[in-house]
Amino acid sequence: MWKERVRGKVEELFAKAGVNFGGNADWDIQVKDDRLFEKIFSNGSLGLGEAYMNGWFECGRFDETVRRLLDKGIEKAAKTWGNFFLYLESVILNRQSKRRAFVIGERHYDLGNDLFELMLDKEMVYSCAYWKNANTLDQAQKNKMDLICRKLDLQPGMKVLDIGCGWGGLARHAAKEYGAEVFGISVSKEQLALAEERSKDLNIKYEFKDYRDLKDNFDSILSVGQMEHVGYKNYRTYMEIVYRSLKKKGLFLLHTIGSNSSNKVTDRWIEKYIFPNSHLPSAAQITKASESLFVLEDLHNFGPDYDKTLMAWYNNFEKGWDQIQKKYGERFRRMWEFYLLSCAGAFRSRKIQLWQFVFSKGDREEIYKAVR
């Protein structure tokens, strides 16, 4: 009786978003194990993700399933006790403290360069591409890197800091195309090893370092895909360190995924399996942290481009999976599919955004001209 009631509750909830169990639409869910319903009922998004990893259901277009669920606000009706305990932990602890800074590198970015080489573009840029006037992922990522360099008005000889430099794609673009001297930092040993290998003979230096240990000064600073790992308790500290590190008349570009609301926690499944100690900032949290330090010169939202980027990554992953399946295994494949497709659906629903902020110290003589 209890199982039937639980199943009925879950089916009713999903039906509000036009998602049916056993239906014929691509976004409908095909049940392989009836334990799925209690898992969703008890654990919300965490349960849904774990059920997918377990092979308890299949779906032709799970990205569209997620988009439909989020469009109807189903996630709000599926709050569980686990969210409350994660909230308490986030309030009580600094989950992105300096002591924990390298956890994300070890658990995510160090998974294996072979995985990311297979999935990403040729320069291995692991952030939202810019699809304006682009038909391929390689071109869209090149567009994004060039967009950032133009927004920063990079000139030959400029000393540039890249916080969270990844595999060095943007650093190489700035050095080769704009003649910049680049200093990149990362908390991933695997990223830095490959970045150094690919950046030989370029004016680039990399270090395994947390942003809180920065001491030098730079003409320009860029932060791409880093703010998601800083945490709301450290936003002001982050801005103060960037301010201290930026020379007068310099520009700071902050590229980040963002939330429509100011929260203190992230999705439980993403937190557990993909990005530990992560947090998506709101625009209000970012601008609050910058108050009395920076002038906001430009804000650019191209969140829909991340949907397209994630689907390109997903297609690359699916096409190349046979090359790495022995190393990673079936459960990892399903976990990674759920990650890429659920995030694509979230961007498609406009529940999360992709922002590029450009800040100055307010002492530039010329008027900033926004670039698109």
Catalytic residues: 343
Beta bridge partners of 257: 354
Count Cβ atoms below 10 Å from residue 227 Cβ, excluding itself: 26
Q: Which two tokens stand for residue 279?
A: 């947090």
Q: Which of 263, 260, 248 has the alpha carbon at shortest distance from 361?
A: 248
Amino acid found at 290: S
User: Contacts by 31-37 with C-beta closer than 8 Å and gap 24+?
Assistant: 31/56, 31/57, 32/56, 32/57, 32/58, 33/57, 34/3, 34/7, 37/3, 37/6, 37/7, 37/10, 37/11
Question: SS3 for 351?
Answer: coil
Q: How far apart are CA 33 and CA 212, in angstroms?
A: 47
Answer whether 46's CB lies under 8 Å from 82's CB. yes
Q: Which two tokens stand for residue 106?
A: 């070890």
- Phi and psi, residue 219, nearest 5°: -75, -35
Q: Which of 277, 345, 268, 358 has the alpha carbon at shortest distance from 100?
A: 277
> Which letter, b or e, does each residue of 4-24 get, where b requires 16 or more Cβ atoms within 10 Å of its Cβ?
eebbeebeebbeebbbebeee
Q: Which two tokens stand for residue 77?
A: 């009706």
Q: Which of 34, 23, 69, 103 has the alpha carbon at shortest distance from 274?
A: 103
- Phi and psi, residue 355, nearest 5°: -115, 145
Q: Which two tokens stand for residue 137?
A: 């992922």
> Which letter, b or e, does each residue of 135-159 get, where b requires 16 or more Cβ atoms within 10 Å of its Cβ?
eebbebbbbbbbbbbebbbbeeebb
